[in-house]
Structure 1
Amino acid sequence: MTGTAAGPVEINPWLRMGPCTPDDCVEPPAALAGPLHRVARLLAAVLVLLAGLSIALATRRAGTAWRAEITRTWARLLLRALGIRVRTTADVAFYTEPQPAPTAPNARSAPTAPGQGGALLVANHVSWLDPLVMAATVPSRPLAKREIGEWPLIRTLAAGSGVLFIDRERLSALPLAVATVTNALKAGDTVIAFPEGTTWCGRGMGEFRPAVFQAAIDAGAAVRPATLRYREGDSTSTRCCFVGDDSLLASLLRVTATRHLVAEVTLFAPVRLAPTGQRRHEARATLARIAEAQVRAGVVEHHEERAEQREERADACVPGRRREMAPLSP
């Protein structure tokens, strides 16, 4: 019996595999849209996409800031056509003088509002809708894998919105990808990245890979963590997730069949690393941990809060189930 020896495995910091699958994670909708409603949503989305082609062609030579604002409006229209409302909230420290993150003494906050100067905006990754949601929230340029640029329709839309294409398949292309993001940040652009490198269903998240954070360090730009959630009413929704072997068509049909979907984005205070003499790999790993901790706290806190609310409602509705009450004050 003969065999071949396995060669060295190249670990790619851009590519990861998450544990979520459609069968395990996708739940039935809280409210199902009717057939006519679903068709109307799909037709409206097609119309917005076609309009986007014309807009993309007209804005290819436009300035980055103006193009980002147009993309922001277009992304909101497309999400609305699909039945998704976008809601943005901000951590209190985002608009006041923020304090350094307690878990990282070598980090400092940068009190800058979205859209003022270049920044690396990083968030947890749930769905193919995420870049649209973030673009609808903050004028920005998303990262996308190079293969998307080979799709005729998507290529035109992406070019019009200022997408930065990176090669995620080859580890040797990593320095060029980091340099591309660095140049965009130095030019004053806000760049959207999803450092997990894969998608989760929204009830948890993976680790942030540090590679893209090197661009923020090289450009001297702030990192702005953001938590992204999809909700149906008061509950976390997994209807928008795009995980495992899910297909784009199946995910799209699932979204259009769900009523009352809300994409909620929470923006946290921007963070920069204070000079400490750390090595490059140590600095970017530290920055990744700081950003991940803020985003993870938002994901976990939100999910646990919604779970507690569901349990309280269940306690109130189940006959014969008694709830503990605080004793009355004398």
Structure 2
Amino acid sequence: MSVWLPTAPCTPQGCATHRQATAGPVRAAVRLLAGLAAVASGVLLAPFAALLALALGAAVRHRLTRCWARAVLRAFGVRVRVVGVPHGLRGSLVVANHISWLDIPLVAAVLPGRMLAKSEVRSWPLLGPLAARGGTLFLERDRLRTLPVTVAAMADALRAGARVAVFPEGSTWCGRGQGRFRPAAFQAALDAGVAVQPVRITFSPTGAAAFVGDDPLLASLWRVVTARALTAEIRLLPPILPGSRPDRRSLALAAQLAVASDSANLPSLSVHQCVSSMPAATSSVRTPS
């Protein structure tokens, strides 16, 4: 790993644990199989969804993406709370803190669009082909000279009216702390003249969802499906409008402070006022700066 790549102090042993009551092994196994089946269905149906979206427009693609992402979260036993509503501006750069691989379907369930991910994701079973077919923009994090090309591709997508989602911490944190927002991706918003939509993601219990350090994916999957009443909240903060910040560093800092300030002032999860809610079924993805 290159020394310049962002890292978090979180470790599986110190952060990815929880003491709350857990679901039984049978229910956990059912959730695991259902979740994997939901992901696999996305891979199989992606070509048909792409053809349908080509014929009927991007709105159809977004609707299908929301339905699939919600199905994945429900299958894994995750309840979702949404606070706030998306702004109506054309095109936006969505930036969120990063806790878990669950962040990806969570953002897609509320703000579907194109994701920025590390190039290694292409080779992942199931998720790799799905990400590629879903229009994911890939970045080779070990090759700095490719960064301007990726930023230019992001700007082109934003100019075309697309929504692009990024986790600018560049690494997963457990949710009890937050990393610095790297400024590179914010240049695309400046070049395209679009708004930045800060998003705050929280999980309860936090340790069950955290996917940090060298945590194996299978171990993280099992923690998720064995957690009882695992709840994800996605909070849509006021957008940062075009022209309100002069450069990418100040824009990144403004988004980072918005997310961090929201975290510091939030009441406990149980008393959050929610705009909408998605119940669960009854039954560190590390990204670039």
Distance in 2, Cα, partners of 1:215 & 1:11: 24
Map 1:154-165 to 2 at 5 A. 154-165=127-138
1:182 to 2:176 alignment: no
* Secondary structure of 2:209's aligned partner: coil
From 33, 36, 58, give the equivalent of 1:43.
Answer: 33
- Match of residue 217 from structure 1: 190
- Whether 2:249 is the aligned partner of 1:285: answer yes
- What amino acid does structure 1 have at the position aligned with 2:102? L
What is the identity, as a one-letter code, of the residue corresponding to 2:39? Answer: L
Secondary structure of 1:121 counterpart? strand
* Bigger mean CA offset, 29-38 vs 153-162: 153-162
* Equivalent residues in 2 for 1:77-88, closer than 5 Å: 77-88=71-82
Structure 1 position 17 matched with structure 2 position 7 = yes
- Supply the AA of the counterpart residue of 1:76: R
Q: Percent identity?
A: 45
Distance in 2 between residues matched to 1:256 and 1:152, nearest whole Å: 20
- Deviations, residues 265-322 of structure 1 (Å, cap 9, x unaligned): 110111135378x5xxxx10010011000101122333xx449x9xxxxxxxxxxxxx
Residues 194-213 of structure 1 show CA distances to partners (whole Å, capped at 9, x for unaligned) of: 11101110011011010000
Instruction: Provide the rounded CA distance (Å) in 1 between the counterparts of 2:244 and 2:170.
Output: 28
Contact 2:93 2:195 in 1 (8 A): yes
Contact preservation (8 Å) 1:56, 1:159: no
Q: Distance in 2 between matches of 1:31 and 1:154?
A: 30
Aligned-CA RMSD value: 2.2
Matched with 1:244 is: 213
Q: Structure 1, residues 146-179: CA drift from partner, whole Å, max 9, x if none? A: 1111235223211332222222221111101101
Structure with more relative contact order (C-alpha pairs < 8 Å, separation 6 or more): 2
2-side partners of 1:273 and 1:160: how far apart?
A: 30
Output the CA distance in 2 between the equivalents of 1:43 and 1:80: 12
Question: Which amino acid in 2 is paired with 1:286?
Answer: S
Kindly indicate whether the alpha-carbon contact (under 8 Å) linking 1:31 and 1:260 is maintained by their aligned counterparts in 2.
no
Aligned equivalents of 1:185, 1:65: Cα separation in 2: 16
Tell me which amino acid in the other structure corresponds to 2:145: S
Structure 1 residue matching 2:199: 3-state secondary structure: strand
* 3-state secondary structure, aligned to 2:188: helix
Structure 2 residue 261 is the aligned partner of structure 1 residue 294: no
CA distance in 2, matches of 1:239, 1:246: 12
Q: TM-score, normalised by structure 1?
A: 0.75
Give the distance between the partners of 2:79 and 2:2, measured in 1 at CA: 41
**Residues 196/275 of structure 1: CA separation in 2 closer, same or farther (3 Å cut):** closer
Alignment gaps of 5+ in structure 2: 272-289
Please give the alpha-carbon distance, in whole angstroms, between the structure 1 residues aligned to 2:132 and 2:88: 20
The equivalent residue for 2:17 is 27
Q: 1:41-67, CA deviations, whole angstroms, 9 ceiling, x for partnerless residues?
A: 012112212321222121234344322
Q: How does 1:1-330 map to 2 (within 5 A)?
A: 12=4, 15-61=5-51, 62-63=53-54, 64-90=58-84, 113-114=86-87, 116-232=89-205, 237-274=206-243, 278=246, 283-302=247-266, 305-306=267-268
Aligned to 1:135, the other structure's residue is in SS state helix
Cα pair 1:56 1:156 within 8 Å, conserved: no
Q: Is the 8 A contact 2:98 2:201 kept in 1?
A: yes
- Distance in 2, matches of 1:190 and 1:41, equals 30
Q: In structure 2, how many angstroms separate the alpha carbons of the residues matched to 1:148 and 1:156?
A: 9
Describe the superposition over 1:184-238 as per-residue Cα deviations: whole angstroms up to 9, x where unpaired: 1011111110111011100110110100000000000100101000014xxxx22
Aligned equivalents of 1:259 and 1:31: distance in 2? 6
Give CA deviations for 1:94-134 in whole Å, capped at 9, x if unaligned. 7xxxxxxxxxxxxxxxxxx4464110000101011111110
Structure 1: distance between partners of 2:204 and 2:212: 17
Structure 1 Cα separation of the partners of residues 40 and 159 of structure 2:
33
